[in-house]
Structure 1
C-alpha cells in the first residue's frame, strides 16, 4: 500500500511539473496555427452605391444583408465624393483623386488588376447590364442606361483600358458560368446596375425604399450562388460587400464625428459606409470598430496575394482582421459608441 501511495504521489509530481510546458506548447501550437492560416484563394468585391452606414445597418428593408454571417466593420469610411474616385481608390489610384463622375476620366499609374496579371494571377470584372465583353461605352443602353462606365474601374485606368485586362470585363451573367465551372479568377470585381446597386435611375421606376429592397435581393441572389460554388467550398474564399460612398455629407449616419478629426480629408472624405467581410473558413457574426477605409481594403487584398503595396504610405492600414487590433489606427477617426 505504501509503495502504491508513493507511486501516486510521484505521478502527481511529474504531472504538475510538465503541465506548464504542455500548456505553453498548446499556446505556441495555437499561435503557430493562427499565424499560418492560408491566404484566400479567391477574393470577390461587391460594390453597392450611395448609402451611409446608418442607412443600411439594422434597416428592415435589408433583411438579407443584416442577417448574413460575416465581420461587419463599424468604422469603415469611403474616401471621396462623388462615386467615381472611390472606385479608383479601390483599385489603386492615389490622391489627389478626380472629384468628378465623368466617365471620360482616365488615370495612369499601377492598379490592382495589372499587378495581379503581372504576377500570374487572374482577374475579372462582372458588370450587370454590360452588353458584351470589353464594352467601352459610357452607359448602356445609351438613353436611360442602367450600366454606367463610372462604376467600372477596370476601364478608368489608361493601361487597363488599352491592355489585355480589358478582355476580363464581362457581363454579370458570366459570373454564374464561372462559378459553376470552377473557373472563377483569383480576384473578381462585381458591380450591379443602377437599379440593383441602390443608386437608382429614371428607368428603374423605384422609390428609395424599393431601391434598398432591390439591392438587398441582388445580394440575396448572388452571395448564396457564390457560397454554393466549388471554389467557395474547396479553399479559402473572401467576399467583401461594401458601399462606395455615403451619398451626401448630410447622410453619413451613425454617431456624430468626434471633435477632432484628421486633417487629411481623403481618409473619410466620402462618409462612413458599411463593409461586410465574409470568410469561408470563419462563419459567424462579428463586429469590429477599428478605423478602416477603401485603401485598407486594397492593402488587405494586395497583402493576401503577396503583391507590392498600391496604397499611399500614410494610408497603409490593413483591415482589422489582418492586423489584429486597432494599434495602427492612431490619429485616425475613432467612434466611441459605434
Structure 2
C-alpha cells in the first residue's frame, strides 16, 4: 500500500528478581573481548544514572533532514566488523568511507530484543526482553511512565500509554513504516503477512529460522507495543514486508519519513557460519550481501538524495562484551542491562547522508538511547524514556559535517 508523506514541520518488582529471571532464561555467561574504548565502561553501574558530558545544543542541520532510514544488524562487535580483514568490506570500507564512522557506538543490553525496544521507545531492559521474549507475554506492572519515562514491572508487550517514535510521528502527521524481511513467508509459522506476532501470552515460534523463513518477531520492535498492535488495520499498513520498500522508494511522496529496516536471521548476520538453508554463508558475509543489495536503492532514492539520513548499526556485540557508554542507567527492572555488565558492548555505526561529509570519523560516545534522541531531534519531537536523560548527546556537528 503506497503511503503519502505529509510535509515535515520544522524539523515490581525488584531489579534483582528481574536479573535472576533473565539469568535463568538465558544463562549468565562470562566475559569475551570487551573493548574498553574511550567513553565506554565494562564495570557494573549503580541504578542511578551517571552524569554524562554536558549536552550539546541540537544542530540546525538535524531540522533539515526529512527522511530517516535505520538498518539493524545482529551480534557483532566493533573490531569484528570494522577491524582489519573484516568479512563485511562493503560496510567497513566502502560505506564507512562514504559517510561517517561512529567508532564509539554501543548497544544498550543483552540479548537482542531489549536493544530493539530501546531504539524506538527509550525503555530499559526487563527480565523477559533480556531473554528475547520466548513467550509473548503481556505487561505486568505499572501502566504509566514515571518521571524518567519508564514503567516498572516485567513483560513483553508494553502498555498503550508507552510512547514510541511511531506514536510521535503519528502525532506530527508524518509517515513511518517497519520493513521486515521474510515476514509472512510461512503463514503457519508467522501467522500473518504483515504485523506478524504470536498470540498474546503464547509461545514465539519465530525464535529460529527455517530454510524458507528467517523472520524473527523479537527483531520487530513495533510488535511489542499495544499502541501499534491493537489496531489491526493500522498495524498492517505500517509494519510490512521488506519487499514493499523498493516500491516505496520510487518517489518522495511514497517514502515514509521514518523507515526501520530489519533483515532476516541470515542476512542480519545472526545465523553463522551457514544460514538455515544449509547453503548460504551467514554472519558478516551475509550482512555484506544484504547491504550491497539494499543500500544503493536507498541512497539513490529521491527522498534520500533530497534530505535523507541512513544509520546502519548492530543491536549488540557478543554477549561477553557488556561495555556501555553515555552514563547508561540500569533502569527500574534489571540490575544489569547486559546481564553480567552495564551494556550491550561496542558495535559501531555508519551514517550516510547528504549532510555528512565522506570520510567523517566521530569518536563521540553514542548508544541506542542516543540514536532515538537523534531521530527525535530530526523530527522536532520530545525525547522518550532514557532518550531524555539529562546530558545524553544526540548526533551533532561531529556527525553532520556537510551543508549541501
TM bracket (short chain) = 0.7 to 0.9
Structure 2 residues without counterparts, runs of 5 or longer: 1-58, 137-155, 185-192, 199-203, 331-335
Counterpart in the other structure of 2:276: 203
Counterpart in the other structure of 1:161: 229
Alignment equivalent of 1:191, drawn from 234, 251, 262 = 262
Counterpart in the other structure of 2:177: 124
2-structure distance, mates of 1:127, 1:315: 33
Partner-residue secondary structure (3-state), 1:287:
strand
Alignment equivalent of 2:65, drawn from 20, 40, 47 = 40
Alignment equivalent of 1:309, drawn from 350, 359, 383 = 383
Matched, 1:212 2:212: no
2-structure distance, mates of 1:147, 1:100: 18
Comparing 161-170 and 218-227, the one that deviates more: 161-170
2-structure distance, mates of 1:222, 1:282: 20
Counterpart in the other structure of 2:319: 248
Partner-residue secondary structure (3-state), 1:60:
coil
Partner-residue secondary structure (3-state), 1:150:
helix
2-structure distance, mates of 1:37, 1:197: 28
The answer as to whether partners of 2:91 and 2:291 remain within 8 angstroms in 1 is yes
The answer as to whether partners of 2:321 and 2:345 remain within 8 angstroms in 1 is no
Alignment equivalent of 2:117, drawn from 81, 85, 88 = 88
1-structure distance, mates of 2:319, 2:368: 17
Partner-residue secondary structure (3-state), 1:180:
coil
After superposition, residues 16-35 of structure 1 pair within 5 angstroms as 35=60
Counterpart in the other structure of 2:372: 298
**RCO greater where, 1 or 2, for CA within 8 Å and sep 6 or more?**
2
CA-CA distance at 1:95 after TM superposition? 2.4
The answer as to whether partners of 1:130 and 1:140 remain within 8 angstroms in 2 is no
Alignment equivalent of 2:194, drawn from 124, 130, 133 = 133
The answer as to whether partners of 2:115 and 2:316 remain within 8 angstroms in 1 is yes
Counterpart in the other structure of 1:24: none
With over 3 angstroms needed to count, the CA separation of the structure-2 counterparts of 1:96 and 1:147, relative to structure 1, is closer
With over 3 angstroms needed to count, the CA separation of the structure-2 counterparts of 1:37 and 1:248, relative to structure 1, is closer
CA-CA distance at 1:246 after TM superposition? 0.4
Partner-residue secondary structure (3-state), 2:276:
helix
Counterpart in the other structure of 1:176: 246
2-structure distance, mates of 1:174, 1:91: 21
With over 3 angstroms needed to count, the CA separation of the structure-2 counterparts of 1:204 and 1:286, relative to structure 1, is farther
Partner-residue secondary structure (3-state), 2:348:
strand
Tell me the TM-score normalised to structure 2 length: 0.64
Partner-residue secondary structure (3-state), 1:154:
helix
CA-CA distance at 1:92 after TM superposition? 0.9
RMSD over aligned Cα atoms: 2.9
Structure 1 residues without counterparts, runs of 5 or longer: 1-33, 326-338
Counterpart in the other structure of 1:74: 103
With over 3 angstroms needed to count, the CA separation of the structure-2 counterparts of 1:310 and 1:169, relative to structure 1, is same
Matched, 1:99 2:130: yes
The answer as to whether partners of 2:109 and 2:337 remain within 8 angstroms in 1 is yes
The answer as to whether partners of 1:200 and 1:206 remain within 8 angstroms in 2 is no
Matched, 1:232 2:263: no
CA-CA distance at 1:283 after TM superposition? 3.8
CA-CA distance at 1:195 after TM superposition? 0.6
With over 3 angstroms needed to count, the CA separation of the structure-2 counterparts of 1:171 and 1:81, relative to structure 1, is same
Partner-residue secondary structure (3-state), 2:218:
helix
1-structure distance, mates of 2:111, 2:208: 22
Counterpart in the other structure of 1:336: none
With over 3 angstroms needed to count, the CA separation of the structure-2 counterparts of 1:311 and 1:70, relative to structure 1, is farther
Tell me the TM-score normalised to structure 1 length: 0.76
With over 3 angstroms needed to count, the CA separation of the structure-2 counterparts of 1:283 and 1:165, relative to structure 1, is farther
CA-CA distance at 1:300 after TM superposition? 0.6
CA-CA distance at 1:36 after TM superposition? 6.2
CA-CA distance at 1:70 after TM superposition? 1.3
CA-CA distance at 1:274 after TM superposition? 1.4
Give the ranges of 4+ consecutive aligned residues of structure 1 lying more than 6 Å apart after TM superposition: none
